Amino acid sequence: MKTPAETRRIFRALGQQHPAADTELHYENPFQLLVATILSAQSTDQGVNQVTPALFARYPDARALASADQDELEQAIKKTGFFRQKARALLGMSEGLLLHHRGEVPASMDALVALPGVGRKTANVVLGHALGVPGLAVDRHVLRVSNRIGLAASEDPEVVEQQLCALLPPERWTTASDTLILHGRRVCKPRPLCDRCAVRDECDYYRAGTVVKAVAPGVPGRAGRKAPTTAAPKGKARRGSGGS
């Protein structure tokens, strides 16, 4: 795994490649971000953003959402996928907010993950972006990218969260997560675009690869690399977990 000094250098380069990294979900308050993040599971932020304007207009707060008809709610969020499961989670989450938090989103990891449909990833997104509490969300992109680069060495999201948090000061956690997510979406995809990566020379996955003779697209005179044909170093993910 990388040292703190190497980690700072890596995130400095990634920050230049993905300036002003932030969540791509649209929201105006913690409740809206909590709803949007639940909907984003197995979906894309763009897909969620197409659904939420009408959803928030109809159900602006926990009280309104908790009283929603489940069939109508399912139809309202159907485009995000897994709509029956998500509708149950949204109803349970809203009821939990009313019952235990007077309808407000709590600024506590323990309180958030006690709500139906809310795991550590969702809680960290809401804490870090809407409540001013340091949080480092680990989704499939963060899991894939951090293991490939060598910032983490586990397939367990909670372990990776702990490893990344140990390398960074709390005030950097949320931005670091956003940066790794964008890098995973745009560059370090399941089939990585290593020729576009700002940290390839620091990346364990890239350095374990084999040089191909073809010149990398868009990089005249530079030999490209392909995904390793041999096993990646122990503890490093060779492939992402898939999805968007």
Domain boundaries, the chain: 30-130
Q: How many other CB atoms are found less than 10 A from the CB of residue 28?
A: 10
Query: Token pair of 26, please?
Result: 């649209």
Given a cut of 60, whether residue 126 has pLDDT beyond it is yes
pLDDT score recorded for residue 209: 86
pLDDT score recorded for residue 101: 98
Given a cut of 60, whether residue 232 has pLDDT beyond it is no
Q: Does domain 30-130 have CATH number 1.10.340.30?
A: yes
**Cα–Cα distance for residue pair 204/150, rounded to 1 Å:** 6
pLDDT score recorded for residue 238: 37
Output the CA angle 146-193-4, nearest 5 degrees. 25
Given a cut of 60, whether residue 224 has pLDDT beyond it is no
Mean pLDDT across the chain, nearest whole number? 89
pLDDT score recorded for residue 150: 98
pLDDT score recorded for residue 167: 97
Residue range 165-190, pLDDT digits in tens: 999 999 999 999 999 999 999 999 99
Q: Could you tell me what percent of the chain has a pLDDT over 70?
A: 86
Instruction: Give the E-state strand segments of 20-169 in sequence order.
Output: none
**Cα–Cα distance for residue pair 188/4, rounded to 1 Å:** 22
Q: Could you tell me what percent of the chain has a pLDDT over 90?
A: 85
Given a cut of 50, whether residue 239 has pLDDT beyond it is no
The pTM assigned to this predicted structure is: 0.85
pLDDT score recorded for residue 57: 98
Residue range 77-122, pLDDT digits in tens: 999 999 999 999 999 999 999 999 999 999 999 999 999 999 999 9
**Residues noted as catalytic:** 121, 139
Give mean pLDDT, residues 46-70.
98
**Cα–Cα distance for residue pair 45/23, rounded to 1 Å:** 9
First to last CA, the chain: 26
**Cα–Cα distance for residue pair 66/41, rounded to 1 Å:** 20
